[in-house]
């Protein structure tokens, strides 16, 4: 077995490929298109909650949100936002007791999230942010719902056949007083 066999365009093959597991005519196709395959499989759902300074004007908040949404859409993702408004913080953050809460729901690859987080870090108006990946939680909830539905169908489908009713002993009458 030759571990140093050369593929087209001077690329080296692994031991399995050199052994014939993968034919050489498909090698350029695989190496040329692997980023596209990765991108299509890696779209995930995220929620980014960030708090901006309470003294910001609504136009400035909307401008910040629109720049973040445009960053996401130009990178190939989708974004929706909700402004929760001014709320009291549980503790002082950067000398502020209040803040304007904004929820940004993003679908896309992780590179988008890195860029959004970088922009949030360098923006002075943002005093705190957190990012949560929500697709795993949604998958878990769907699985629990399917199991629950399957259990309800099984319990509702258990019909009583005449043979089963004849073999079961009759219930004793309830004593009367």
Over 60: is that where the pLDDT of 139 sits?
yes
Over 60: is that where the pLDDT of 20 sits?
no
The CATH code belonging to domain 44-136 is 3.30.70.60
Find out whether 8 and 24 touch, Cβ atoms under 8 Å: yes
Over 80: is that where the pLDDT of 160 sits?
no
Residue 27, φ and ψ in degrees, nearest 5: -60, -45
pLDDT of residue 167: 61
Higher pLDDT, 159 or 44: 44
- Residue 137, helix vs strand vs coil: helix
Average pLDDT value for residue range 111-140:
92
Mean model confidence pLDDT for the chain: 79
Q: pTM (2 decimals)?
A: 0.58
Find out whether 97 and 23 touch, Cβ atoms under 8 Å: no
Q: Which of 74, 70, 54 is nearest to 104 (CA)?
A: 70
Residue 146, φ and ψ in degrees, nearest 5: -65, -45
pLDDT of residue 140: 85
Q: How far is CA 122 from CA 29, 67, 119, 126, 129, in A?
A: 41, 13, 5, 8, 12
C-alpha–C-alpha distance, residues 80 and 46, integer Å: 11
When mean pLDDT is compared across 57-66, 138-147, 165-174, the lowest value belongs to 165-174
pLDDT of residue 33: 46
Over 60: is that where the pLDDT of 27 sits?
no
How does pLDDT run across 64-111, given as a tens digit for each residue?
999 999 999 999 999 999 999 999 999 999 999 999 999 999 999 999
Over 50: is that where the pLDDT of 131 sits?
yes
Return the domain boundaries, the chain: 44-136
Average pLDDT value for residue range 133-155:
87
């Amino acid at each position: 077995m030759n571990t140093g066999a050369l593929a087209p365009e001077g690329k080296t093959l692994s031991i399995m490929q050199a052994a014939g597991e993968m034919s050489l005519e498909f090698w350029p196709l695989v190496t040329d298109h692997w980023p596209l395959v990765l991108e299509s499989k890696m779209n995930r759902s995220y929620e980014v909650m960030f708090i901006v300074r309470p003294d910001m004007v609504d136009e400035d908040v909307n401008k910040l949100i629109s720049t973040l949404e445009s960053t996401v859409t130009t990178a190939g993702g989708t974004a929706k936002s909700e402004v929760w408004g001014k709320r009291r913080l549980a503790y002082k953050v950067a000398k502020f007791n209040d803040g304007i809460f904004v929820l940004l729901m993003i679908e896309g690859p992780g590179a988008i999230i890195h860029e959004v987080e970088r922009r949030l870090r360098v923006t002075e108006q943002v005093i705190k942010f957190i990012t949560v990946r929500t697709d795993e939680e949604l998958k878990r909830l769907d699985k629990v719902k399917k199991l629950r539905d399957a259990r309800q169908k099984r319990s509702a489908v258990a019909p009583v056949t005449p043979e089963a009713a004849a073999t079961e002993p009759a219930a004793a009458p309830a004593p009367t007083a």
